[in-house]
Structure 1
Amino acid sequence: MLKKIAIVIVAIAVIILGLALAQPNSFTVTRSTTIKAPPEKIYPLISDFHNWTMWSPWEHLDPKMVRTYSGAASGAGAIYNWEGNDQVGAGRMEITGVAAPGKVDIKLDFLKPFESHNTTVFTLEPKGDGTNVVWTMTGPSAFITKLMGVFVSMDKMVGPDFEKGLASMKAVAEK
């Protein structure tokens, strides 16, 4: 009986590992919303890391989170480092490119709980009396990401946070 149980456990492990290896080598998470404000009003909320405390979905998960800002005050070259509890981890963001008021490119490095290096892009396109804001994150899928992807996709893990962040950004920008 124990032999049969062991065979089943090994078979399940092999199947899970096989499914993990079959996962894509990269991921993309994208969410968007329309905000009733011009791009010029929304752009500073993204291009100045000091303003992220008003809308980022992760900013209030750890009241003791340590934030440091360096480089440019805003725009290309602005750098934001954070270190916090298990919910926010630790990492670094650097704005690598801007096309004011329509686009912000960010290099996003997570250091804890898992190391990963991703790219985040915000695009702002005028749409009627508002602006369509698109938040996209792309990155490579390390084996641990692929293994987690067997059970839950990056889109399902991160997408709801993007939705919360965009809703908060909308509330701030529409005031």
Structure 2
Amino acid sequence: MVRNTLVAYIGFGFYKASDLTTIEIVKSVSIKGPKEEVFNNVRYLKNFPKWSPFLAADPAQKYEVKGTDGTVGAQYHWDGNGGKDMGFQEITKIDELKFVGMKCDIQKPFTAKPTFDYYFTETSNGIEVKQVFRVKSDLVSAFFMWIFGVKSDMEKMNQKGLDLMKKSVEIKN
């Protein structure tokens, strides 16, 4: 009986995990401030510490910008949680005041290669920043993401970053 229940749970888990092999999370925030300032918070990686939800969670995190900041190829490297979190993000595309694309290379605590696309639009409520996060994983990794509720955590973390960006810009204006 216990064995059948365990097999059924694992089978159900892999069925649910198949929905997590490709994750796309779309979050947005409206920021009252100059479009150039909002855009430059993303474009210039030196500004990421102002709104990084990861740095907020781990203030001792070490980070470094490599390459020419604000240009395609610039990288933001991080090493946090006493060496347990490590990776970098790299700017892959810039469309002035409209779009910044980034790819990440997460090396610890797991390996992943997500992308972040940021879109900037003027609205009556301010500058809308839309973040589109995408990550692909194999079925086994997706199974563990399902078990631990990782997608929900990612959604919260991504929104927290946008909310911190909003706060950092609006506090000045």
TM-score higher than 0.5 here? yes
Partner of 1:6: 3
**Residue pair 2:20, 2:146 contacting (<8 A) in 1 also:** no
Matching of residues 1-175 of structure 1 within 5 Å: 4-20=1-17, 22-85=18-81, 89-128=85-124, 130-151=126-147, 152=149, 154=151, 156-174=152-170, 175=172
Distance 2:134 2:83 in 1: 21
Per-residue Cα deviation, 1:5-48 (whole angstroms, up to 9, x for no partner): 3333333333323433x325311011101111132111111111
- 1:128–1:19 CA distance, 2 compared to 1 (3 A): closer
Distance 2:82 2:157 in 1: 16
Distance 2:20 2:43 in 1: 31
- 1:88–1:172 CA distance, 2 compared to 1 (3 A): farther
Aligned length: 170
Distance 2:16 2:95 in 1: 40
TM-score by length of 2: 0.87
Matched residues, percent identical?
A: 25
**Residue pair 2:24, 2:133 contacting (<8 A) in 1 also:** yes
Tell me how far 1:73 sits from its aligned partner: 2.0
Distance 1:144 1:133 in 2: 33
Tell me how far 1:129 sits from its aligned partner: 5.6
Distance 2:161 2:16 in 1: 32
- 1:143–1:37 CA distance, 2 compared to 1 (3 A): same
Relative to its length, the structure with more helix (as a share) is 2
